Amino acid sequence: MAGSSQGDPVAAHGPVGVLALQGDFREHVSVLRGLGADVVTVRRPEEARSISGLVIPGGESSVMDKLSRSFGVAEALQERIAEGMPVYGTCAGLIMIADRILDGIRGQQSLGGLDVAVRRNAFGSQTDSFEADLDVPALGDPPMHAVFIRAPVVAELGPEATALASLADGTVVAVEQGNLLGTSFHPEMTGDHRFHQYFLDKVAARS
């Protein structure tokens, strides 16, 4: 993206952040460090302003939403997303970067950015968690073994967003829009870190 770093002069070379309000942020810190990244945890607005990219972990999106607003970090992150900072959201993190939430709790908001509607807990209480092998053409072979835990799905894909992976029935479970990346599942749990590397490649392309 020509000139994209001009909108982001302070943080283009900063560490990558992991939003650490709630959820399995420690696992993402460890995966990103394993890939050689300089990683910091993010809870405060000044931390949000110093990073070159952000991973939002799985957890409980309604809690993460409330905490992000009460810690005052939500607004700073929205500004960074608008500037084009790369963000990778997994599971609850995908819900946090979706423009529209279906089956959210009353008053639930998101940071937004990704032109999709996600449905929370889309597989219902019968299928709390399951695993599947997914073809992800953007990552090449082999298929990715994916773990879904009370997972959301991408119920509507806006014209700006692209599906990166779907279940056998066509349900979209991985999506990309410019520097935003979201998966319904948890690559931090399986040892296959190609999505984290894909995110780090987006960060590197901006610096």
State the minimum distance, in angstroms, from the CB of residue 59 to ligand GLN.
Answer: 5
Q: State the distance between the two ends of the chain, measured CA to CA, in whole angstroms.
A: 11
CB contact at 8 A, 56 and 48:
no
Nearer to ligand GLN, 17 or 58 (CB): 58
Please report, as ranges, the residues that interact with ligand GLN according to CB under 6 A: 58-61, 91-92, 95, 120-121, 149-150
Nearer to ligand GLN, 37 or 153 (CB): 153
The interaxial angle of helices 194-206 and 25-34, nearest 10 deg, is 70
Q: Residue for token digits 């835990």?
A: 149
- Tell me which residues are annotated as active site: 91, 186, 188
**Cα atoms found within 13 Å of the Cα of residue 89, Cβ hemisphere only:** 34
State the minimum distance, in angstroms, from the CB of residue 178 to ligand GLN.
Answer: 23
Nearer to ligand GLN, 10 or 105 (CB): 105
CA distance 85 to 1: 12
State the minimum distance, in angstroms, from the CB of residue 42 to ligand GLN.
Answer: 17
